[in-house]
């Protein structure tokens, strides 16, 4: 028997500051108050559909992972410490049908625009449906957490992230010349656990040194108990790449200046 084909039509799109998967938080609880605007499409009577929505503090947002190609039956979640998991036992975007579900905090309704917080969606993501979050029926805080540790929080707490004086100076130099929230990315990733992990882009070198990759930057750190010390920040480009003559708009120009001014020492 052939299964029927379902046709879905987006009712809007969301506007956020997140333009790629690496930058976006993994869950709304990890979004640190990030704002966004759901722009509903005109001409679909949606102005009537959202009447009475403003009284709800949170809303369920169902969306389409439009930047995913294909799906994977097993994935490696960032919180997994013992290998891959079945995709339907995770929140991974690599699903048979790329449907996403987030609880967002509704700030206000302005016409066909829904101003929301705690956003974990990429800019331009198609929105398929919106439902109110009803606390008495939607919240079960004592439920079992499957393969996650009992009582697991997201993002995970417990590791203290500290920056050396050299790392602080390097972060300041980069922050003055780049919009990349490098400090936030470092802290949020290492708080999950500083162990080697391909999803988090953490590696242990042959000499035992630990490195975190954030876009084209490499962060050296060490771990003592629950303390993570960020030692320094290096360019992710090789010496041969840094020796080339790029255009001023090429991202490598920033790294050349970083090395030239001895900030990476």
Which pLDDT tens digits describe the chain residue by residue (265 residues)? 678 889 999 999 999 988 877 667 766 555 467 899 999 999 999 999 999 999 999 999 999 999 988 898 998 877 777 788 899 998 888 899 999 999 999 999 999 999 999 999 999 999 999 999 999 999 888 888 888 766 555 544 568 899 999 999 999 999 999 988 899 889 878 887 788 776 678 888 888 889 999 989 999 999 998 899 999 999 999 999 999 888 877 889 999 999 988 776 5
Q: How far apart are CA 71 and CA 127, in angstroms?
A: 20
Whether the Cβ atoms of residue 61 and residue 38 lie closer than 8 Å to each other: yes
pLDDT of residue 155: 47
| pLDDT the model gives residue 76 | 82
pLDDT of residue 123: 94
* Residue 257 DSSP one-character state: H
Query: Which pLDDT belongs to residue 194?
Result: 82
pLDDT score of 119 = 92
DSSP label of 185 = H
Of the candidates 69, 30, 39, the residue with the CA atom closest to the CA atom of residue 130:
39
Other Cβ atoms less than 10 A from the Cβ of 22: the count is 11
Structure tokens at 53: 């929505």
Return the number of other C-beta atoms located less than 10 Å from residue 146's C-beta. Answer: 9
The partner residues of 204 in beta bridges, in order of sequence, read 210
Distance, CA of 15 to CA of 46 (rounded, Å): 18
Domains of the chain: 12-138 (2.40.30.70), 160-260 (3.30.2310.20)
The pTM (predicted TM-score) of the whole model is: 0.68
Write the CB contacts of 155 (distance below 8 Å, at least 6 apart in sequence): 26, 29, 30, 188, 191, 192
**How far is 258 from 250, CA to CA, in rounded Å?**
14
């Amino acid at each position: 028997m052939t299964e029927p084909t379902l046709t879905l039509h987006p009712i809007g799109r969301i506007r956020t500051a997140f333009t790629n998967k690496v930058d976006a938080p993994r869950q709304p609880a990890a979004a640190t108050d990030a704002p966004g605007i759901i722009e509903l499409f005109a001409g679909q009577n949606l102005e009537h559909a959202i009447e009475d929505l403003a009284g709800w503090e949170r809303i369920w947002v169902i969306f389409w992972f439009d930047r995913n190609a294909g799906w994977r039956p097993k994935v490696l979640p960032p919180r997994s410490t013992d290998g891959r998991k079945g995709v339907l036992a995770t929140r991974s975007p690599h699903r048979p049908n790329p449907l996403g579900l987030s609880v967002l905090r509704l700030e206000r309704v302005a016409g066909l625009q829904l101003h929301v917080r705690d956003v974990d969606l990429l800019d331009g993501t198609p929105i398929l449906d919106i439902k109110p979050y009803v606390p008495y029926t939607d919240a079960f805080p004592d439920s079992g957490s499957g393969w996650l540790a009992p009582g697991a929080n997201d993002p995970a707490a417990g590791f203290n992230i500290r920056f050396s004086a050299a790392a602080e100076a390097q972060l300041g130099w980069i922050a003055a010349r780049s919009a990349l929230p490098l400090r936030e990315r470092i802290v949020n990733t290492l708080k999950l656990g500083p162990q080697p992990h391909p999803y988090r882009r953490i590696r242990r070198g042959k000499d035992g040194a630990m490195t975190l990759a954030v876009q084209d930057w490499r962060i050296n750190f060490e771990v003592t108990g629950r303390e993570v010390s960020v030692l320094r920040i290096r360019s992710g480009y090789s010496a041969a790449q840094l020796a080339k003559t790029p255009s001023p708009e090429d991202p490598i120009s920033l790294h050349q200046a970083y090395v030239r001014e001895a900030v990476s020492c």
